Chain A
C-alpha cells in the first residue's frame, strides 16, 4: 500500500498562511494526473472534499484553499487562515487502492 505521511499538528496565526504537507511513499502521479485529494474534517462532522487531483478546487470551497504538488510531495495551502478553518486535514491518494494520510490538526497560535 502507498503510505501517506502528514505532520500531526500545525499551529498558525489568524490571517497568516498555513501550509500542510503530505508525502507519499511512492509516486501517486500518472502522466500529468496527480491522484492526490484533500479533505477537511471539523470536530463531530463528516469530512468535506476541498481539493481533488492535487490542485482542483471542489465545488463551493473558498479560493483561500489551494493545492499543489506532484509525484510524492503535495501541499494544501490556506491563505489567509480564518477561525473557521480549525479542523483536521487529510490527504488521500487514488493511484493504488485508496489510502488516507493520518491527518494534520490545524491549531491557532
Chain B
C-alpha cells in the first residue's frame, strides 16, 4: 500500500523559514515525479511544485517561485519543501502527492503551516 507521510509543519512568523518532509513507502519512489500541493483554510487546491524522478527538472507556481525549493533524496525515499520568506498567504495545509501522468494518484494526509505574528 502506498503511503506518504508529511512532517515539519507548525506556527512560524512572517519572514521566517520552514522545511517540510514527506516520507514515501509502498512504491519505487525513485521512479516517479513528486509534487507539493497546498490548500488554504476553507479554500481550494493550489499546485505549487514538481520534481522529476531524478531531480533533473523542477517546476514552481509563480506564487512560490524564488522562495520555495523542492528537493528529494531517493536513498531515503523522502521529498522536501524548503520554504523561505514565508508570508501570511502561505498559511495552508501542505500535501505531497505522487505523479501519475501529471495527475496525482496518491496524497499524503497533509501537514499544516501557519504563518502569523
Contacts and interface: CB of A to CB of B under 8 A. Distances in A.
The answer to whether A and B assemble together is yes
Interface of A: 35, 37, 39, 41, 45-49, 52-53, 58-59, 90, 92, 94, 97-103
Interface of B: 35, 44-47, 50, 59, 61, 95, 100-110
8 contacts: A39-B104, A53-B101, A58-B105, A59-B105, A90-B44, A98-B47, A98-B102, A99-B47
A37 B101 CA distance: 10
A101 B45 CA distance: 8
A99 B37 CA distance: 10
Contact of A52 (B95, B101, B107): B101
A94 B102 contact: yes
B10 to A, nearest CB: 19
A52 B47 contact: no
A100 B35 CA distance: 14
B105 A47 contact: no
B100 A46 contact: no
B102 A47 contact: no
